[in-house]
Structure 1
Amino acid sequence: MRRILAPVVALGLVLAGGGSAAAAAPDTKGADRTLTAYAKDTWRSMVAMTDPRTGLVADNVSGDLKTDSTYTSPTNIGGYMWSAVVARELGFISRKEARDRISQTLDTLARMDHHEQSGMYFNWYDPRDASVVRVWPEDGSTIYPFLSSVDNGWLAAALRVVKGAVPELRGKADRILSKMNFGFYYNPAATTPFGASGLIAGGFWDAEPPPPPQCSVQRDGTWFTCNHYDITVTEPRIATYLGIGAGQIPAEAYYNTMRTLPATCDWNWHEMQPVGFDTTYEGVPVYEGAYEYRGIRFVPSWGGDMFEALMPDLFVPEERWAPNSWGRNHKATVAGQIEHGLHDAGYGYWGFSPASNPSGGYAVWGVDAMGMDTNGYPSDVEQSRYDAGFGDCRPAGAEPDYGDGVVTPHAAFLALPYAKGPVVDNLRGLKANFDAYGPGGFYDAVAVGSGTVAKRYLSLDQAMIMGALGNELANDLIRKSFVDKRFEQRIRPLIGQETFNIPADQHLPQLGGAGA
């Protein structure tokens, strides 16, 4: 059974959450004005979170923009810098203000404690004085400072954006970036079930880490995580791109990750049995596996969320450089999210990605059917599970009865390059029908069945919105600032040779829309 939980009302000729392409003529200028207004308010939240003494942005702020958290991360710091570039380009701040803001942040980064050998930064700092957080401010627990490959990837991406967009600060940014060696995370001995070896670790500690169940392996006086990133459609690929682009990681590492887990019964615990074929790229055996959900073929992420699939695409023009792989998959991912929210779960709205929990705290949200984790990211408060079975190896489970769907606005913004009309319609509906919008733009998450709203702003999610809007409204601003000639020469031909197991002519009616 499918329950329509959310109020879906007509907004002119456009239905909230999705419209017909034939319902009205495209209104590109109107859509861009709306998106620009969203960007201006979103930037206001970033300003409110930023400490004027250090130029470091807090992790989150209350919905009234008055109460900041007292911790931040390399990702947050990077997101503030690329957001300032967007704010400048869209005319919200002057070139001087943007330069001064970013320069202050770079100066603080340059003096912050970090791992000298690798050039990497710790996971948590206090934005008030830039010190490393060793006691978690929310509960007093001990923090063992950790250096994440993914978090440092987003910081490095931001430094590349600054180099490309603010020439006056190129030297400052490069003095930090040039010390960051992503090869430090690379483990040539880490293997996958398909026989490929060479993966990046989740991260490391520069002192002995906490006791079990945390798993670590000591190498050269450093304690690395036992886990390595071995899935292709996940956010750690930004670190792989950066390492390959800088010549710190071998190119074949891109193909060492898995498109899906194996299709054999030994692996029948993952979401569904993939379909695919075996091939080879860069001398690496690759299984081009794919899932299918409601008639849409795609290569899954781990959790079935937008962040994993589309955040790296803010920086690397994957769909243009790799039209037969990412060009097909990004469209299919967006179509699947829309199909889930509007038609399968019947929420009336869509966009699912890790964000705040409307009931408090933080939670992972996604489309369970689109992620490899069987107990993966749910789209509703009730955590309804999808189980397609695994061919003859595992019978299908009961059909899910979706409840109070949790929509995360930043997930919809990430879809702008692939479904602008549906994105604009979806956001318009959220703003009109819920108390989902405040002084800093869209609040972080909305439970559309109950109307419960997480009235706070997370700097990461706000930065994703700013990055997406910078690309949409300013001619691929973030991508063009990030990419230089050497990076393109190393990455474009590498990823461009691949073909995912997705039909080139796959019909995706979900991507139409009145605002397209």
Structure 2
Amino acid sequence: MKHVLATLAVASLVLGAAAPAQASPSHGNTLERYARDTWASLDAMTDPATGLTADNIGGALGPASRAAYTSPTNIGGYLWSTVTARDLGIIAEDDARSRLTKTLAALSAIERNPASGMFYNWYDPATGAKLTTWPDSGDEVKPFLSTVDNGWLAAALRIVRAAEPSLVAEADALYDSMDFGAFFDPVPPANLPAGTNRGGFWEAEPGGCSVRHPNYNGVGPEVFYTCHHYDTTVSESRIATYLGISNGSLPPSALYGTFRTMPESCDWAWQEQRPSGVVREYDGIPVYEGVYSYRGMSFVPSWGGSMFESLMPDLLVPEAEWGPRSWGLNHAITVAVQKAHGLDEAGYGYWGFSPASNPFGGYAEYGVDLAGIRSDGYPSDREASNADIDRPGCSTGTNPTPSYGDGVVTPHASFLALPYDRKGALKNLSRIEKKLGGYGPGGFYDAIATRSGTVAERYLSLDQSMIMAAIGNELSDDSLKHYFVDAEMEQRLRPLIEAQVFGSNWGSVRPPR
């Protein structure tokens, strides 16, 4: 089905900014250009025989620089990017259908965990084989079943079944076989009021920390779960919780089994800030609605303080619409915090921080340190400047006013901010392209150091697929959300999200008009 390109008036939720009346034609043209070039990178990353997308590719898009490994998230991102490319007129309907058919056929053939229907974390995109050795080094890979990675693939299957009616049977067969109950621990971890997901499991003992336990879905042999749970609310992992509640494999209480912040007790003084908040009950379950503060604003933090933890699920789930007293505030304030940090506190002249390629080699986690629960949260610069502020009544900060060096911006973070600050995000992206040279044949390079001008001339399929989703939603009336959400999901999930009341507020900052 073709979709008419339309730009929408979206409230600009930034510090003191007025809502724009309408996105200008030039903005639409710019986003279309970004989408075409971003799609070129995803096309170059995808094996033409299998339809499986590699994890990354070099900046020149040469086939030889395509990674020899992929994950369920990478494959899922390619699926929704293919739908988006079709809807934006970048590829023809027949081409999109052929691509989706090929990828679904590969997914149907590759090895999965038989007890849960879940996919392993790493495959060879050229053959679909499960990886047991790492292609670059030959090191052993212990096959792992990841909660969040399977969540993103399952989400993409929902999109395909709604966007391409000829593939409903194939997409449903895969989606219906994925049992998210296999990840859900019904016994609440310490200090949490309800059960929550573990990070995933191995079929064989991996060495290091693991928990041997019968599969939570009651099927098959014992497995080895991660020692950690996904226990923070503002996390990209919540996509798996949404899916499990929507299809009935997780109880509604799973939405309340995560920390907004850690408790304010000094027993938790290791966390980045000492929070403030109140306890609210949801269906009889007490939840501490804690918040952090930044420059007069209060918000629920993510683990590391990055944009994708906060906003990636919002690409598919209408969180801000369904949760005006929770996500509707928190997402906008998160964007404002990132913008204020980059432009004002750190003085980089640019903003938008999220895990990405390291311009100086490898991969790194970037974010706003004070906006993350982790005490040595994700830094925004190469120097890994670590803020350590006072926790009143508990401890005195050792570095309350850090200096910042070579800040690293990650363009996909600005695209995630589009619904909440279109004008600011587009200005930021234009400056990254024109002043920092952060743009290549496949769209924006993955990360750019703002002071040295060092560019990570590489494209990651995850980050490129977030960009495609954000542009697609902006130009075609939130099409991916409409594909993703059906009547059953809305009936089960929307009332739970609507009931939530975070402590997020604009405080001393003038709220947007």
Q: TM-score range by the shorter chain?
A: over 0.9
CA–CA separation in structure 2 for the residues paired with 1:345 and 1:248: 44
The AA in structure 1 aligned to 2:288 is Y
Q: Does 1:200 align with 2:197?
A: yes
CA–CA separation in structure 2 for the residues paired with 1:119 and 1:508: 49
The AA in structure 2 aligned to 1:293 is Y
CA–CA separation in structure 2 for the residues paired with 1:104 and 1:361: 31
Aligned to 2:212: 217
Q: 1:422 to 1:205 in 2, by over 3 A?
A: same
Contact 1:296–1:508 (CA under 8 A) maintained in structure 2: no
Q: 1:392 to 1:383 in 2, by over 3 A?
A: same
Aligned to 1:14: none
Q: Residues 198-226 of structure 1: CA distance to partner in whole angstroms, max 9, x if unpaired?
A: 111100112222x22x3332324211111
Aligned to 2:124: 126
Which one of 446, 458, 461 corresponds to residue 460 of structure 2?
A: 458
CA–CA separation in structure 2 for the residues paired with 1:242 and 1:21: 35
The AA in structure 1 aligned to 2:167 is L
Aligned to 1:290: 291
Secondary structure in structure 2 of the residue aligned to 1:260: coil
Aligned to 2:3: none
Contact 1:216–1:226 (CA under 8 A) maintained in structure 2: yes
Contact 1:134–1:144 (CA under 8 A) maintained in structure 2: yes
Comparing 135-144 with 104-113, which one deviates more in the overlay? 135-144
Which one of 3, 19, 25 corresponds to residue 29 of structure 1?
A: 25
Q: 1:120 to 1:443 in 2, by over 3 A?
A: same
Aligned to 1:156: 154
Secondary structure in structure 2 of the residue aligned to 1:36: helix
Q: Does 1:40 align with 2:36?
A: yes
Deviation at 1:296, TM superposition (A): 1.5
Q: Residues 10-30 of structure 1: CA distance to partner in whole angstroms, max 9, x if unpaired?
A: xxxxxxxx99969x9975221
Matches within 5 A, 1:336-485: 336-398=337-399, 399-485=401-487
Secondary structure in structure 1 of the residue aligned to 2:353: coil
Matches within 5 A, 1:56-205: 56-66=52-62, 67-194=65-192, 196-205=193-202
Contact 2:15–2:336 (CA under 8 A) maintained in structure 1: no
Q: Residues 98-133 of structure 1: CA distance to partner in whole angstroms, max 9, x if unpaired?
A: 010011000000000001111100000000000011
Q: Does 1:53 align with 2:49?
A: yes
Q: TM-score, normalised by structure 2?
A: 0.93
Deviation at 1:155, TM superposition (A): 0.1
Deviation at 1:396, TM superposition (A): 2.0
Secondary structure in structure 1 of the residue aligned to 2:290: strand
Q: 1:508 to 1:28 in 2, by over 3 A?
A: farther
CA–CA separation in structure 2 for the residues paired with 1:42 and 1:489: 35
Q: Residues 17-64 of structure 1: CA distance to partner in whole angstroms, max 9, x if unpaired?
A: x99969x99752211110110000000000000001100000000000
Secondary structure in structure 1 of the residue aligned to 2:298: strand
CA–CA separation in structure 2 for the residues paired with 1:508 and 1:447: 31
The AA in structure 2 aligned to 1:61 is I
CA–CA separation in structure 2 for the residues paired with 1:451 and 1:271: 30
The AA in structure 2 aligned to 1:207 is A
Aligned to 1:303: 304
CA–CA separation in structure 2 for the residues paired with 1:177 and 1:286: 31
CA–CA separation in structure 2 for the residues paired with 1:416 and 1:107: 34
CA–CA separation in structure 1 for the residues paired with 2:289 and 2:510: 21
The AA in structure 2 aligned to 1:204 is F
Q: Residues 356-385 of structure 1: CA distance to partner in whole angstroms, max 9, x if unpaired?
A: 000011000000000000111000000001
Deviation at 1:284, TM superposition (A): 1.2
Contact 2:303–2:377 (CA under 8 A) maintained in structure 1: yes
CA–CA separation in structure 1 for the residues paired with 2:180 and 2:250: 7
Overall identity of the aligned pairs, in %: 53
CA–CA separation in structure 1 for the residues paired with 2:191 and 2:24: 47
Aligned to 1:316: 317
Secondary structure in structure 2 of the residue aligned to 1:446: strand
Aligned to 1:3: none
CA–CA separation in structure 2 for the residues paired with 1:243 and 1:461: 24
The AA in structure 2 aligned to 1:348 is G
Q: 1:192 to 1:419 in 2, by over 3 A?
A: farther
Q: 1:100 to 1:404 in 2, by over 3 A?
A: same
Q: 1:430 to 1:285 in 2, by over 3 A?
A: same
Contact 1:217–1:225 (CA under 8 A) maintained in structure 2: no
CA–CA separation in structure 2 for the residues paired with 1:433 and 1:508: 31
Contact 1:380–1:403 (CA under 8 A) maintained in structure 2: yes
Q: Residues 222-261 of structure 1: CA distance to partner in whole angstroms, max 9, x if unpaired?
A: 1111111111000111000000000000001101111100
Contact 1:279–1:286 (CA under 8 A) maintained in structure 2: yes
Contact 1:271–1:389 (CA under 8 A) maintained in structure 2: no
The AA in structure 1 aligned to 2:73 is T
Secondary structure in structure 1 of the residue aligned to 2:186: strand
Alignment gaps of 5+ in structure 1: 1-17
Secondary structure in structure 2 of the residue aligned to 1:279: strand
Deviation at 1:506, TM superposition (A): 6.8
Comparing 389-398 with 176-185, which one deviates more in the overlay? 389-398
Q: 1:280 to 1:160 in 2, by over 3 A?
A: same
The AA in structure 2 aligned to 1:229 is Y
CA–CA separation in structure 1 for the residues paired with 2:162 and 2:510: 35
CA–CA separation in structure 2 for the residues paired with 1:352 and 1:192: 31
Secondary structure in structure 2 of the residue aligned to 1:114: coil
How many correspondences in the alignment?
A: 491
Deviation at 1:492, TM superposition (A): 0.3
The AA in structure 2 aligned to 1:43 is W
CA–CA separation in structure 1 for the residues paired with 2:205 and 2:117: 19
CA–CA separation in structure 1 for the residues paired with 2:436 and 2:15: 19
Alignment gaps of 5+ in structure 2: 1-13, 215-220
Contact 1:217–1:226 (CA under 8 A) maintained in structure 2: no
Q: Residues 337-367 of structure 1: CA distance to partner in whole angstroms, max 9, x if unpaired?
A: 0000000000000000000000011000000
Contact 1:78–1:156 (CA under 8 A) maintained in structure 2: yes
CA–CA separation in structure 1 for the residues paired with 2:232 and 2:172: 30
CA–CA separation in structure 2 for the residues paired with 1:287 and 1:409: 34
Contact 1:335–1:508 (CA under 8 A) maintained in structure 2: no
CA–CA separation in structure 2 for the residues paired with 1:503 and 1:415: 18
